[in-house]
Structure formats: C-alpha cells, structure tokens
Amino acid sequence: MSTSLAIEAVDLRKRYGDVEALRGVELAVPAGSVLGLLGPNGAGKTTTLRILTTLLKPDAGTARVAGFDVVRQPASVRARIGLAGQYAAVDENLTGFENLELVGRLYHLGRRASRQRAGELLESFGLTDAGKRLVRTYSGGMRRRLDLAAALVAQPPILFLDEPTTGLDIRSRLALWEAITSLVAGGTTVLLTTQDLDEADRLAHRITVVDHGVVIAEGTPDELKLQVGGDRLEILLADGADAAEAERLVAALGDGAPRVVDRTLSLPVERRRAAIADVVRRLDEAGIGIEDIATRRPTLDDVFLKLTGHAAEDGEGQS
C-alpha cells in the first residue's frame, strides 16, 4: 500500500443555522484502503461525505481528494471520484442501460465508449438482461447494484459509498459486499459510511467513528475492539444450578470479576482455551450442570455502545 493519502480532511466545520453539524472533522485515507465512517444518525457522516464529493462547501477547514482541494479544484475532484448514495440515485424512467450510458455521456466519454462501458458494467453486475428494462421495475438490490455501477462508469480511483446496503436483504447485501471487495482488490480507495457495524467490520481496513460532528475514535476494527476489552466466556448453567456458588467457584479462573444474569455466567478471559478447560472442570467437580458454553469476542456494536453511549441504530435525527 502506498503511503500517499487519497482523501484527507483537516478541521472540517459546517453549521446549519444553530446546529453545528461538523465541529472539526479530521480524516486520512491512504490510497488503496477502505475507511469506514461510522456514527449514529445526525453524527455528521453524510455532511462530511457531501463536502468531500464537492456537493457542499465547508464553512471552515480544508479537504483534499486525489490531491485536489475540494473547494478550489472541484472539477478535478469530480473527474476522479464515483459516488453511490443511500437513495439509489438512478432514473426510474430510463432503462438500466440508458442510465449508465447517460452517466458516461456526462463524463464526456463519447457515445460509443459510453455504450460499451454501460454494457460491460451491466454484465459485471449481473444486470445484462435487466439492462433493457425500466429501472422502476427493479428490486431494491438491483437498483443499488445499478447505482454502484453508475459510480464506476469512469473507473474512478476513489469511491464514496453512502450507506450502500441500508435496507437491503441479506443476499443483495452479500452481492454488493463482494462487488466492493473486488474493487478494492483492484486498487480502488473507498470511503464508506454505514450504520451497519458488521458491514464496517467486513469491508473497512480502518474505522473512524464520528458523533456530534467530531471524530471520537479511529483505528482498525481490532484496535477498536481491544478498547472495550478482551474475550468473555459465557456459560449457560443447567436449570436449577446454584448460580451464586458457580460465580464463587470460577472467580479465580478469569481475568476479571464474573457476572451472573439469570442463568448465564459471564467471565472475562484472556487465554480462552485454558480458561474453558478450567471452568468446565471446576463446575463439574462441584456438580453444577452446564447447558452451553460459548466465547464471545467484543463486536463493533460493543465498541459503538461504549463510545457513543447508545447503540448504532438509535440515533437522533437525520444528518
């Protein structure tokens, strides 16, 4: 991976009336990597994205995309980016082919090259047959794929994806993830906003968490998870087992105080395998039955909850 930055934002600020949407956002995305921009609704994700894609001017701060200033050199930025949005911005009353051809013409690729590129993209997104149909007959997943295809018409080195899979079923989501992964393998830099932490975990090399218009955490998914602690053993005790006795017995085996909720005993551990053997042996000796035992790694949900004080889905207002 090259060390040059494909996207760089310094102290971005934006105010809407009394609301400070951005209060000094900083971003750095190395070329060829994927940055996941996470945050609840209203955190400033979409505002940041709109500034980076030249749709909105910041009140203060600077941003460079592909080395060009988004405020002073917007045309140069636009020639090097692709944007796919959460609202699937394609024309419902055109066919899939016509949509892609239109975008190609507006990139000034010329008629023949636009048509050829439209055909290629429809094929690689599995839309060749659907390409002759009006988009209003498409399913949600097909629209998103077409939207992503439209963002790729000019083969941009940098791609901005605004909640690309929000509202999609699992199958469409997997298909879209696969498409994005193969683009990244081909060297495309991606900035992705999402509320879906699973998505960020799968796709992003690094994650930036924003809340109330500022960056509150930054790191790889693993680094962020480490911030909320290590693995936990979760032991489901058999019906009628003495939970208090079990709690006392395993206390010395973990790397923190155990907790009991109903019949589930939760124990922080650092060395999982040894701990599992110890716990099972100790409880078995004491005649305490175990129904199930599992290890749980912290998820980005845990990270999010800890950092923002609320879960990813229940934000306040739209950004």
Partner 1 sequence: MRARDELSDMLVLAVRSVRRIPRQPDLLIGFTVQPVMFVLLFVYVFGGAISTPGLDYVDFLVPGIIVQSMVFGGFVTALGLAEDLKKGLMDRFRSLPMSRSAVLTGRTLADVSTNVIQLVVMLVVGVLVGFDFKTRVLEILAGIGLLLLVGYAFSWVFAFIGLTASSPEAANALGFVILFPVTFVSSAFVPVRSMPGWLQPVADNNPFTVMVNAARRLFVDTPAATDVWLAPVWSVGIALVFGALAILRYRRVLAR
Q: How far is the CB of 136 from partner 1 (least distance, A)?
A: 8
Among 21, 37, 88, 159, binds partner 1 (CB under 8 A): 88
Work out whether 281 is an interface residue with partner 1 (CB under 8 A): no
Nearest to 317 by CA among 41, 14, 18: 41
Q: What's the rounded Cα separation, in Å, for the pair 195 and 172?
A: 17
Nearest to 66 by CA among 55, 77, 52, 78: 77
Work out whether 93 is an interface residue with partner 1 (CB under 8 A): yes
Binding characters for partner 1, 147-176, by CB under 8 A (x = yes): ---x--------------------------
Pick the closer one to partner 1 by CB: 94 or 236. Answer: 94
- Order of strands, edge to edge, in the sheet holding 232-237? 259-261, 264-268, 232-237, 290-296
Work out whether 280 is an interface residue with partner 1 (CB under 8 A): no
Work out whether 123 is an interface residue with partner 1 (CB under 8 A): no
Among 10, 28, 102, 290, binds partner 1 (CB under 8 A): 102
Task: Please give the structure tokens belonging to residue 271.
Answer: 């060395």
Cα-based torsion angle of the residue sequence 142, 201, 300, 217 in order, rounded to the nearest 10 degrees? -110
Work out whether 279 is an interface residue with partner 1 (CB under 8 A): no
Pick the closer one to partner 1 by CB: 87 or 310. Answer: 87
Work out whether 81 is an interface residue with partner 1 (CB under 8 A): yes
* Contact between 198 and 174 (Cβ < 8 Å): no
Q: What's the rounded Cα separation, in Å, for the pair 75 and 69?
A: 10
Task: Please give the structure tokens belonging to residue 284.
Answer: 């078995």
Residue in the structure block whose two tokens are 């980016």: 81
Positions that interact with partner 1 (CB under 8 A): 16, 50, 53-57, 75, 78-79, 81-83, 85, 87-94, 98, 102-103, 105-108, 134, 150
